[in-house]
A and B are shown apart, each in its own frame.
Chain A
Amino acid sequence: MLFLLSWRNLARRKRRAFITALTVALGVFLSVTFTALGDYSYTNMINTSAKMGFGHVTVEAEGYNVSPALDKRIGGVSDILKLIRGADGVESAVSRITGQAMFSTASRSVGGVFMAIDPKVETQSTTAFLGAISGGEMFNDVKGRGAVLGVKLMEKLNLKKGGKFVYTTTGATGDLVSESARVTGVFKTGVEEVDGSFAILPIGRLQGALGYTDDEATMVVTFIKDHRNAEGARAVLQSALSGRKLEVLTWSQTQADLAGHVAVDQAVNYIYQFLMGVMIAAGILNTVMMGVLERWREFGVMVAVGFKPSRLSLMVIIESLWLGIMGLILGVIVTAPWYVYMSRTGIDLSGYMQEGADVSGILVDPVLKFRLYKESVVGILAGVFALTALAGLYPAWKAGRTNPVDTLKNL
């Protein structure tokens, strides 16, 4: 009865109700846009970051994360890999050796970073460098002398494909060790600092050079289906590996810069959306309040004939909720095609962005696209209802205080 009454009340001012619902729809549109852009870009950056070295969850020697050094290594890697690969939610796990090195040719010496991998177990879903190879190929001998270098590092070293270079690093016992390698491929991620300092080397060769056994590495990196479950996966792996002197860390711990950027960006996004919500709520409040004030006499009559003030308040709140529902429906109608287009095609801003723009060494995708997490959808829906309900509270309170005698006397 109250729902029908509220609906009819709104129907008496169709244009006003429609414009108010449109305001709510605009809010939904903007909220989806901002949230979906964030959800897509955060997921993209976190997954790319994971594929550039540390995975979503990393198992490494104690203290390595704070002070990386090649003497901090983990043993029993094959057992750890078997254990991790059998855990729920884990898509893949690989062992790696990463560290600093000096790369030298006859003409130049350049300081940089290496990541030693087993090419037989790495795929494009575990390393971003495979997909970024712009010339040549990934080496295939895990104990060979092949190497894949960043395109800028090749330029700095005056190297060509097939060229020889020497890398020098600090071994497991603290001594400097050197090895020669030949370039089998070159990658281009677009990030200057990565392309200018990064080399991919075969893990078997590094194990020998550094004085590691075949079952030692600096880390085991784990990839999970959804990065938001990293903390849960960390806890599972921590429990499974308890008793060993290891640290199990999530991407937000190994990639603290990126995690900080995401957190700040998310916070700013939430503040924008909150302010936008306040403005939309003010619009709804205005509409409902006008509706209450212009029906002052009508409310007086209703109370005079026995309509309870509390039901009057409830009616006004329901009117607000109706506006919210209409706005939501209108919002979905307006936003759906936009969302479908943006999630499938997106907007390519590469023409307007500087090439190689990055955040903490992670390339910023120049194509704006949408992705909405389930919790984001729930959040937007809950937010719209909460705002419309809140906007109706004051008018409802005002309506509930209707005094029929005073109201009718002032006529």
Chain B
Amino acid sequence: MVGMDAKFTLIFAILFTAVAGGHCLAADKPDGAARAKEILDRVDDMWRGKSSHAVLTMKVATANYTRAMSLEGWSKGKDMSLVRVTSPLKEKGTATLKSGSTIYTYLPKTDKTIRLTSGMMSGSWMGSHLTNDDLVKESRMTEDFDSVVTFEGKRDGAYVMDFTLTPKPDAAVVWGKITMTLNVEGDDYLPVTEVFYDEDMKPSRTIVFKDIKIFSGRRLPAIMRVTPQDKPGEFTELVYESLNLDVDIDDSFFSISRLRRD
């Protein structure tokens, strides 16, 4: 779905790519909702490739440490992605494979592949502010929200659209709502911010998109910064160095045996 995931993914790319499709629904929705769906689907389409290959850097700043690592990743559709650490040396080869709703991690030092259990889903992904659960849930969230356009017009000299996504009553999502702002530039809808709210409607996590670049002929933000609201000063930033969409990758690429191969 959604824009939101889309972008999230998108940047995040490779990974959990997939920008899932279809956001909320249906023809019987009021105009606002139908229009929101149409635009967000378009954003999805813009981001989505049938497959992708990306090289990116992830910077993580916490109260206790700051680190950066280089990643290379591949994705196909919503459900298949593979990300491998290429530096620093001591973590080189560490890889994460997402296949459907299952995540495997390969640790080269011990030559072990671990299938993450539900109890491990709350763990941090590669030391970042994203959890393993974020990666699995990402493509599912598109099915869990209803969205409406809450603002459209000029703001600070730019033409923007604000969307509010509210979870469906029985959706298995933790957010009270999500707000998203897009910059509309010609035919391009470029995400600017996403704010995730808790059940009390207090901001819990913010994602800021910036540094628009052209990847595979499409204008996309090259940087996505995730900021947890309850940890001032901390963030995880993903910086795309290259992103090739619609690359030729076989399904067998996303296998456990490939996970181990450097």
Report the stretch among A168-176, A259-267, A289-297 that lies at the interface: A168-176
Residue B196 CB within 8 A of the other chain = yes
The answer to whether B101 touches A165 (Cβ under 8 A) is: no
The answer to whether A109 touches B122 (Cβ under 8 A) is: yes
Least Cβ–Cβ distance between B63 and chain A, in angstroms: 17
Q: What is the CA–CA distance of A111 and B172 in the complex, to the nearest angstrom?
A: 17
The answer to whether A168 touches B173 (Cβ under 8 A) is: no
Quick one: given A175-B101, A175-B102, A176-B101, are A106 and B174 in contact (CB under 8 Å)? yes
Contacts of A105 in B (CB 8 A): 174, 198-199
Report the stretch among A16-24, A47-55, A96-104, A304-312 that lies at the interface: A96-104
The answer to whether B171 touches A163 (Cβ under 8 A) is: no
Quick one: given A145-B170, A175-B102, are A102 and B119 in contact (CB under 8 Å)? yes
User: For residue A179, which residue of chain B has the nearest CB?
Assistant: B172
Least Cβ–Cβ distance between A272 and chain B, in angstroms: 42
Residue B137 CB within 8 A of the other chain = yes
Q: What is the CA–CA distance of A109 and B118 in the complex, to the nearest angstrom?
A: 11
Contacts of B121 in A (CB 8 A): 102, 109, 168, 176
Q: What is the CA–CA distance of A124 and B174 in the complex, to the nearest angstrom?
A: 32
User: For residue B230, which residue of chain A has the nearest CB?
Assistant: A107
Least Cβ–Cβ distance between A114 and chain B, in angstroms: 10
Quick one: given A106-B198, A109-B122, A175-B101, are A180 and B172 in contact (CB under 8 Å)? yes
The answer to whether A168 touches B118 (Cβ under 8 A) is: yes
Least Cβ–Cβ distance between A30 and chain B, in angstroms: 47
Contacts of B257 in A (CB 8 A): none
Residue B197 CB within 8 A of the other chain = yes
Q: What is the CA–CA distance of A189 and B70 in the complex, to the nearest angstrom?
A: 47
The answer to whether A175 touches B133 (Cβ under 8 A) is: no
Within 8 A of B (CB), among A85-138: 99-102, 104-107, 109-111
Residue B108 CB within 8 A of the other chain = no
Residue B126 CB within 8 A of the other chain = no
Query: For the side of the interface on B, what is the size category?
Result: 20 to 34
Contacts of A101 in B (CB 8 A): 118-119
Residue A188 CB within 8 A of the other chain = no
Convert B111-145 into 0s and 1s, putting 1 for each residue whose CB lies closer than 8 angstroms to a CB of A.
Answer: 00000011111100000000101001100100000
Q: What is the CA–CA distance of A166 and B174 in the complex, to the nearest angstrom?
A: 6
Residue A164 CB within 8 A of the other chain = yes
Convert B176-219 into 0s and 1s, putting 1 for each residue whose CB lies closer than 8 angstroms to a CB of A.
Answer: 10000000000000000000111100001100000000000000
Residue A376 CB within 8 A of the other chain = no
Convert A156-192 into 0s and 1s, putting 1 for each residue whose CB lies closer than 8 angstroms to a CB of B.
Answer: 0010000111101110001111111000000000000
Quick one: given A100-B119, A102-B118, are A107 and B137 in contact (CB under 8 Å)? no
User: For residue B115, which residue of chain A has the nearest CB?
Assistant: A174
The answer to whether B119 touches A106 (Cβ under 8 A) is: no
The answer to whether B199 touches A102 (Cβ under 8 A) is: no
Q: What is the CA–CA distance of A158 and B137 in the complex, to the nearest angstrom?
A: 21
User: For residue B228, which residue of chain A has the nearest CB?
Assistant: A107
Q: A111 contacts which of B102, B122, B137, B170 (Cβ < 8 Å)?
A: B122
Residue B175 CB within 8 A of the other chain = yes
The answer to whether B136 touches A176 (Cβ under 8 A) is: yes
> Which has the most chain B C-beta neighbours within 10 Å: A158, A170, A174, A178?
A178
The answer to whether A166 touches B173 (Cβ under 8 A) is: yes
The answer to whether B102 touches A176 (Cβ under 8 A) is: yes
Q: What is the CA–CA distance of A102 and B116 in the complex, to the nearest angstrom?
A: 12
Residue B100 CB within 8 A of the other chain = yes
Convert B76-108 into 0s and 1s, putting 1 for each residue whose CB lies closer than 8 angstroms to a CB of A.
Answer: 000000000000000000000000111000000
Could you jot down 10 A-B contacts, CB within 8 Å? A101-B119, A102-B119, A102-B121, A107-B198, A111-B122, A164-B174, A174-B102, A176-B121, A177-B101, A180-B173
Beyond A106-B197, A109-B121, A178-B140, 4 additional pairs, beta carbon < 8 A? A100-B119, A105-B198, A106-B198, A174-B102
| A interface residues with partner B (beta carbon < 8 Å) | 99-102, 104-107, 109-111, 145, 158, 163-166, 168-170, 174-180
